[in-house]
Amino acid sequence: MDTHKIKMIRERLAASSAPVALTGAGVSAESGVPTFRGPGGLWKTYKPEDLATPEAFERDPYLVWEWYNFRREKIASVSPNPAHYALAGLEASKPAFTLITQNVDGLHCLAGSRNVLEIHGSIWALRCTACGNSSENRDVPIEILPRCTCGGLLRPGVVWFGETLPEDTMNAAFEAAEKADFMMVAGTSGVVQPAASLVSVAKRAGAFTVEINTDATPLSDIMDERLEGRAGEILPLIITA
């Protein structure tokens, strides 16, 4: 690991008054949560159009719920890793820090982060397809097919392809990106929109941008710095003195 680069980035972060982190599945990979793309990724075995679209749920809610049960079981059995803890520590030392995650696993909260913008929702949230009511449910497995008190079918409270992101959460994320003077982008392939566009927003606003990833991504070229490696190893180096 390039210790000079780490030191420089750590100083940038220390001097920052509006730091932002954008995280993706790679940050939970070291906890044992499968990523979506790349080796061992969920989209290697499962087709997104069969499981992660509103049309798929309309067609076969049982199948979709089975898949979410399988993922809920996996996630319930794992713990946060040093990447999650480092980011939780940053919130404690820098209250102006904004954590934006595409992850639905809830591991940032479990590690102690309090203000997390979960732009793709949460696997522990349920939403009624009839009345729109949202609730939390941590049953593993959840009884298929779950029903709302109104009788409507409940769906996972996550954002599927073709769906809009939760408006308030996304507005807060764009606002943070527009004000950011430092942005670290960890463990995301950067191919899913509009999440990935947060990086260009921050960049245009003049933020210093750092990518932490085991591989290069389509975002790599626009970043000011890249740290190639595992988030669970690199984030604690940047964040802890």
Q: Which residues are catalytic?
A: 120
Q: Using CB under 6 A, which of 5, 14, 41, 225 touches ligand BJW?
A: 41
**By C-beta, is 16 or 102 nearer to ligand BJW?**
102
Stretch that binds ligand BJW, among 133-141, 142-150, 191-199, 219-227 (CB under 6 A): 191-199
d(CA 92, CA 186): 19
Q: Which does 150 bind (CB under 5 to 8 A by kind): Zn ion, ligand BJW, none?
A: Zn ion
Query: Which residue in 38, 41, 146, 152 binds Zn ion (CB under 5 A)?
Result: 152
Tell whether residue 145 is a contact of Zn ion (CB under 5 A).
Answer: no
Closest CA to 123 of 110, 40, 112: 110
Name the amino acid, one letter, at 123.
I
Q: What residue type is 162 in one-letter code?
A: G
Stretch that binds ligand BJW, among 57-65, 135-143, 153-161, 168-176 (CB under 6 A): 153-161
Q: Choosing among Zn ion, ligand BJW, none, which partner's interface includes residue 238 (Cβ < 5 to 8 Å by kind)?
A: none
Q: How far apart are CA 79 and CA 16, in angstroms?
A: 30
214 near ligand BJW, judged by CB under 6 A: yes
Segment near ligand BJW (CB under 6 A); pick from 4-12, 56-64, 156-164, 219-227: 156-164
Q: Which does 41 bind (CB under 5 to 8 A by kind): ligand BJW, Zn ion, none?
A: ligand BJW
Smallest gap from residue 100 Cβ to ligand BJW (A): 11
The residue within the footprint of Zn ion, chosen from 131, 140, 191, 222 (CB under 5 A), is 131
162 contacts ligand BJW (rule: CB under 6 A): yes
Compute CA 103 distance to the chain's CA centroid, rounded to the nearest angstrom.
3
Asked if 130 touches Zn ion (CB under 5 A), the answer is yes
**Which partner from the list Zn ion, ligand BJW, none does 36 bind, CB cut-off 5 to 8 Å by kind?**
ligand BJW
- Sign of the CA dihedral with 176 first, then 181, 185, and 191 last: positive
What residues make contact with ligand BJW under the rule CB under 6 A? 24-26, 29-30, 35-38, 41, 52, 102, 104, 120, 158-164, 187-189, 191-194, 212-215, 217, 230-231
